[in-house]
Chain A
Amino acid sequence: METHEETPIIYTMENKPIVTCAGDQSLFTSLYTSLAQQLPKEPMEWRRSYGRAPKMIHLEANFVQFKEELLPKDGNRALLTFPFLHIYWTDCCDTEMYKASVKDDMLRWQSTLRLHGSVDWLIVVVESEAKKKNKTNILPRTSIVDKIRNDFCNKQSDRCVVLSDPLKESSRSQDSWSSFLTKLRTLLLMSFTKNLGRFEDDMRTLREKRTEPGWSFCDYFMVQEELAFVFEMLQQFEDALVQYDELDALFTQYVLNFGAGDGANWLGSFCAPVKRWSGLLLRRPIDMEKRELIQRSEASLLDLRSYLFSRQCTLLIFLQRPWEVTQRALELLHNCVQELRLLEVSVVQGALDCWVFLSCLEVLHRIEGCCDRAQLEANCSHTVGLWTYATEKLKSLGYLCGLVAEKGPTSEDLNRTVDLLAGLGEERPETVNSLQSPYKKLNEALSSVEAFEKHYLELSHAAMEMYRTIGRMRSSRLIGKSLAEFYMKKGVPERAEGFLDDSLRSYVAEGWSLQVTHTRKQMAECQKLLQQTEDYLQTSALLAGDANLTEEERRHFCQEILTFASQPPAPSDQTVALSMAAFAQLRQMQFSPPGAVVHVGAALQLELRVRCLMPVAVQVEQLAATLHFSLEQGGARGRAGSTQRRTGQGPQGQGDGVVLFPHGSPLAGAGLGAPLPPALELYEMQDRSPSDSSLNSTGVVCKNMHLLLRRHDSSASLDTPTAGALPAAVAVDDGAQMLRARDITLQPGDNSILFTAPTGEPGSYTLRQLCGSVGRVQFVQSHIYPVVQYEVYSQEPQLTIEPLSDNLLAGIPQKVKFTIATGHYSVKKGDALQLSNTDSMPILHSSCCSATILSSTGERVGERALSVQSSEKVTSISLPPTPPYHTLEFQLEVLCHIPPTPFKPDIEHLTNGEVRHRPKSHSHADSGMINIDQKVSIDCPWSIYSTLISLTFYVPFKAKHSILSAGKRKYIQVCLQNVSDTNFHLADPVLTERQPTIPVELLSLNAKTQQTVCCQQSVFCLWEMRWVKHLPLCLQCAFSASFAPVSASDAHTSFKPYRYEFQLDRVSTLYSLKAEILPPSGDQHCRTGALCGLEVSITRQAEPSETEGEEEESTEIEGLRTTKLMYEVVDNSSNWAVCGKSSGVVSMPVAASATHRVQMEVMPLFAGHLPFPNIKVFKYLPHSAVPAIQPDTDSCLENDTMSLLDKGLDDQGDTASIRSRGSVHSVGSGEQQREQQRGLPMPRLEPFSPGQVFYWSQGRQVLVLPVTDDHVMEVNVT
């Protein structure tokens, strides 16, 4: 550290508090070395006034010989030169000598001190053994020390210290040293406290006077700085810094007050015009030149600030806080500029720039001087601000002095430069020899264009590099941009381009539109100079559509493009492809028809709404969209599949063929926020099982997940192409199919363009590129998103026949609808459908048949008459001519005849089969509706194969017959059940015998000839049979009736026949059965619990005919033909208890009116009108007979022959058990019986046919009285 030659005492940091030494100088000199060493060794605690924290300090002192001049005179408040302690040294041990000289000397010393008011003194008496021995006349009792204490230290005995044998290495000597040093330190500190306290008080008083007129800041400054110096001297840098900060704040406040109109007189000196701008000087601890200026109140504001800062800087560096220096430096520089402005100090233009530039560099140099490289690099963030500031200032100086202009500086510029350099003054002696001083740099930079460029670039790059290292990319780019401006000024656009591009990208990425516009304008200029035609045009296009620019500017850029476009193309260069995004925005596309699914060759129009961003109308020669054609979703899939896919268009596709393009993303060029994330595109997803199309799962799928979840890189996510970044795929391939529109004028704003889409081939067409040609320029949008596509399908002609109503009913005319989807086939005149006739289903053709023709969109096109011609085998329907992809619909009436016979199991089987195939005809299948499948074979004109179509008809009725008997008389009942959902009129029910071998008269007992059968209701018809001789064994009957739906208008024609055929066997009554219940004898009525007699009489009604006789097993016993019958009394309702035997076998003589009576006993279990127990009769066949059990399905007698077998019929006497219910048969017993049947021959029972046995007492009841209660209840009362 350099010291100033002329003023040697202060101002080096070797300053120490002054301690004067009087007395024996040679003695002191001998002790000086060890004293100076020992003093700072141990710290002392310094307790301070005003509540300041005590501090441990290491004391040092500057020992000087006592001179009277050293003592401060009144009013001199210089603290640095102030002697804090006065020491008198003596080694006198001789009383005589003491009295003779030393005492007087001491007295003189004391009086001088007292004269100057100094009370901080100390007398050191050095004792030495050697000296004592030499002297003989030592007073043993009173030593010199005591004498001195007596003489000088009235009450302050501690002011005299003994130092014994200081130069010897003994413990005594060490003890005395340490006590001496402690004393010395204590006294020193006491002196500090006292003197500094007094000083501070004075200082404060002075400060309080600052409002008084004569007060001067500079004077006060010098006072407080004195204090700072002392703290610095005591190594209390923190405290020293506080003093300067206080001064700084005070000054700042004055300046602010001045700005607020409260000016102080002394500020006038600081308002003087700035004449020197030599920058900060930080190389010296104290800049004496400036200090003197301040002392003389001649300092300018910059001088004061510079000096203040240099002191703060010095102290901060002592405190190891270099980064605070940089921060404060930047604040200071900003502040100074502001203060000069505020104080309205006149400054030569550029002078401040010089000052700031020099100061920045000076601070940086100073910092570099005290830190190593690694530290510097790690703390770029602290220094970079200064670097930038210096760069800025140098740049503005460069512009000011004409160093940036292409032509170089003018003479005016040179004059200005000279003035500025003059203000710098001479270079300081410290830096004269260094090569890189700020002074030299500035001098050099301002001296020539080349040097300026060199320095400016150096600084800029350094600052940019630093910003980049600490990740402040925006700041770095801003410098880069100003560098680009510099290059542009210099006429080196190729260098500017990179910086501009970098900045532009970042602004675009972050969506700062004004910057984008500004930088893009610079870019355009640059590209124009570089003759990058394509990039320039692209940038121009973006600028022409930029809303931030004025109309005029936009027109200019638009004109640039149009001018280029209209130039005749040179043979070498091709058309220039530019991005569409800058030129126009897609708004929406709309298909017409909206489904965007059309058949081959159909007209499909696409309306494109485009917002043209250009400021003027642009004539576009051709606007073309290339199509990507793929077969994958071609016509084979037909219509259903494609429409389904269409509906899932998501947020853009609105189902009506409109595709909206999102606004935000493509217009980042125009300035709106590009970073908006794309909207979620959600689709419904349904997973159906392939077999029965039931829903397995459903969910929501996000289709643009790849866009949403991708990483957001700041650099990579530039969607919009900036200049030169157009994708290479712009090349338009001409072979592909295109949507074209020619010669359109695009007005600024929204335009609508109509395209006709090619529909030549089936498949799916996707719009890929959009390209607008304006002369040599093509605007290309390489992707159209969201995907716009349409489908063209091709369809095979198709014929469907379906019933108009839910179900086709057999027997009555039904309407069926023929639908012909013509597909790609065009129905020509003369084309006819050939239906092969079947007998069971004639086609009823009416003359007024007409066909409707519908277009593919379901629009009704026309209606044509249809002619139907029937020949014997073929019904031919001639179709009206129909264009392709239309639908032809017409209706025909068909009739399906009801097969007459009751359908036997094979038809039943068919029904079952049908049920399995057609689950939809549920209710009718359940209700037992019989259906008939009718296959229709149709020859279509478009196919060589016949189309086989199956129609299912349902028979509306179900018939049942039964035979009823009354004695010998017979009745036939037919039950007709309407199983359909239609109400019918039923007319003329007729029962006829089909093969009347033996004439039987059937007498109708039905009252009405016509009646209504409601749906699901039944009608019963009854006929009595009359015959002459005897009934035939087998009777074949046919029931027929006509029916017509109630709703039918024309009652006569619409009545259709219904026929039901059936066969009756063994109808005539063979036996009649009569039962009688007799009350017990002597009683008039039956009573419960009393046995009653049951008399059953079985009477043979007729002799069997010859045919019947064959069936009946008869045996000849004693010349009498008898047949065996088995009877059984069963009471199913638990009313009766059959007592004794309940069944038995009787032999009936084969003769008319032969009667057999059987007596049994029954007991009524309840009172009331009880129905008679059931009595059943069976044929009893011996075992030899061949079993011929064929139970008639229509039999009303449901008998189980088996159940009787296990009763052990041979053992009749044991069957007297009470059998209330016939529920004993089990599977096991049944199997057993069958085995018995097979194994050993058993007698069999065979039921009679219905009607063969007539029960007289069917339904009869007998009155049973309750039994008189003869129970006696004994009641004993005690």
Chain B
Amino acid sequence: MFSAIGSGVGVHGDFQGLDGPHLAGDPCLVLTTDPKPRLRWTAELHERFVDAVTQLGGPDKATPKTIMRTMAVKGLTLYHLKSHLQKYRLGKQSCKDLPDNSKDASCLAESQDTDSSASSSSKIAQDLNDGYHVTEALRVQMEVQRRLHDQLEVQRRLQLRIEAQGKYLQSILEKACKVLNDQAAATAGLEAAREELSELAIKASNDSNGLVPVDALKVPSISELAVSLENKNPSNLPARFGDCSIDSCLTSNGSLVSPMGVASQAAAMKKRPRPLFGNGDSVPLEWMITNSG
């Protein structure tokens, strides 16, 4: 049924489909009898229309103005033609997908037109009108369906996108925590080394004349560290470091997060001992630091 309609005939959407009285004369316009006179696109009129359009090179090339001139029908306005042309074009579009049916339909239409008695032409017009209504309704329904389908598609895609982002954030969080823990573990190792060195320094200063009371300066805090290390709880180490009010490499800003990793921390460590080990024993100790770092 729809293929017949799809043969490219369109009509004004508000068409009543009444069998109103024909006005005499040909070519003439048939107007409906309802309060607002509307144009009835009879088969004849439509055929003229199709001829004109074909003459002008097809529905896409033809314009309402040119069709009007070509058709040369009295009383036909641009307004009528605009809407009829639009319907025709749309009909042509949907018709493209049904090539076989349209051929049958156009044959049907042609054969019907050649009979060309008043009753048959009005009957065809009637059928066509009904068909046009259905086309309209169908089109609207398709719009709604398409919209719903799109919205569902969007929802589905959104879910996938949210999932992807969530998965990524989870994984980057885990990796960041791992990096942090690795660094803490590395610093733990360094702190152990540092502890050893400070003990050596104490020994060294005790051996020497004890110019700098190194033990008074640093030992309490380092023993704190030693305690924490013995507790073997690496994740708590940063807390410990924070509690110590020494300006070790861990509370300062740059050194812990250097991209070069442990090597730079060792390098940073190198600077640290100077205030501590103020006497002449610093050189061999630094050498020991770099080796143990």
Bound together: no
